Amino acid sequence: MPRNMTRAAIADFFQRLSVHMPAPKTELDYTSPYTLLVAVTLSAQATDVGVNKATRRLFPVADTPEKMVRLGEKRLGEYIRTIGLWRNKAKNVIALSQILLDVHDGEVPGTRDELEKLPGVGRKTANVVCNVAFGQPTIAVDTHIFRVSNRTGLARGKDVVKVEERLEKVTPAEYLQHAHHWLILHGRYVCKARTPECWRCEVADLCLFTPKTPEGGFPKKKNPVRKSKRTLRSKPPLKSARK
């Protein structure tokens, strides 16, 4: 069974990340809880860079539920068509904006349960909004955090909910508020999916992943040279001498 990081190592792990990144924050551009909610909803299966490029044009036009509903699904699509799954996302953003107006007086609710009732808002999106907009110590487990947690031995789990629950259990209270951002940024820029950059990792000695990637990467394996098989050609039959 794979080992887990000890409590002492986990505390040291987060302490080092906090020194390296004292003020971590989301890389999505937003100006309010509502624009954050929209940006995170659009970011599913898309990059933050791509979302920011779209919202840079969108938010000056529609940065409230009222303005978004007035903009409409078709015109919204014109702003976000560079983002993956944009048609479905446009539909969800308009729908959730209408619900915010009808049920929440145009305000974004501050609980995960209420957020998850909105179209296109899952557990991860709700956790991001709760953490970033409302300062709650939630941890939104995305692909980076899932990888880092399992790879390092910090919080192993077969699915994102198990990893989330484990992280909330083992992360020291003083680090819970920023744990989400430390882990996602560490996974995005250091503990990368294909080749983790262990040689410049500030927590490499605490991490249980092996073998550690050296600077410059592992030497490439040379493919053995295969000797070509020589095909034996049958000799042509002897021509019979003419009589």
Q: Encode burial over 177-202: b for 16+ CB neighbours within 10 A, e otherwise.
A: bbbbbbbbbbbbebbeeeebebeebe
**CA angle 104-66-27, nearest 5°?**
85
**N- to C-terminal Cα separation, the chain:** 86
Stretch (H or E) spanning 113:
helix 112-115
Which of 48, 124, 212, 235 is catalytic? The answer is: 124
Which of 12, 74, 113, 142 is catalytic? The answer is: 142
- Number of neighbours of residue 116 by Cβ within 10 angstroms: 14
Whether 142 sits among the annotated catalytic residues: the reply is: yes
Cα–Cα distance between 126 and 139 in angstroms, integer?
A: 10
Q: Which residues are annotated as a binding site?
A: 191, 198, 201, 207
Q: Which residues are annotated as a binding site for [4Fe-4S] cluster?
A: 191, 198, 201, 207
Cα–Cα distance between 63 and 66 in angstroms, integer?
A: 8
What positions carry a catalytic annotation? 124, 142
